[in-house]
Amino acid sequence: MFAGIGPKRDVDRYLRGVGRTVLKDIDSSPFSARPVEHPGGRVPAPPAQQDFWAASTVGSGPQALHWTPGVGDWAVVVMNADGSPGVVADVSAGAEVAFLAPLGWSLAGAGVLLLVTGIVLIRRGLRPPVGQRRAAPAT
């Protein structure tokens, strides 16, 4: 099995005339995609021999592909390592966003600060001002 990410222009050129299924209109929640069939009879050269892939992996069994996005239009390809037709694959995708952890900790800290400030203000509002405190009745 081969999985690769490459510039869309180069991927389209490589797969010209190759029968394939392209997923369009992909939504994540709930997952849905519209498959578009592209007919063709040409068998491409083995994908791992191509030099335009920004990231790729090849092998049997579960594979992981790590890629840092760049500017441009990109295409994800999953195909047999020898370029032959008839691919069956379970694919999942995820993303790591570097700024989310610091953002979460910053928001949690701000929340604690607001909570403490709120408690102090509520306690001050419940106590009467110093000049209006009543003396305890004498017995």
Tell if the pTM clears 0.75, that is, is over it.
Answer: no
pLDDT at 3: 93
Spatial distance between the Cα atoms of 40 and 51, rounded to a whole number of angstroms: 23
CA nearest 52: which of 9, 81, 87, 1?
9
What pLDDT, on a 0 to 100 scale, did the predictor assign at position 23? 87
Structural element, H or E, at residue 6: strand 2-7
Q: What is the pLDDT of residue 11?
A: 95
Q: What is the pLDDT of residue 100?
A: 85
List per-residue pLDDT tens for the chain, 139 residues long.
999 999 999 999 999 999 998 888 888 778 888 888 889 889 899 999 999 999 999 998 888 888 888 899 999 999 999 988 888 888 887 777 788 888 999 999 999 999 999 999 888 887 776 666 666 666 6
Per-domain boundaries in the chain: 2-79, 100-127
Q: Which of 51, 39, 36, 50 is nearest to 83 (CA)?
A: 50
What is the C-alpha to C-alpha distance for residues 16 and 43, in angstroms, rounded to an integer? 10
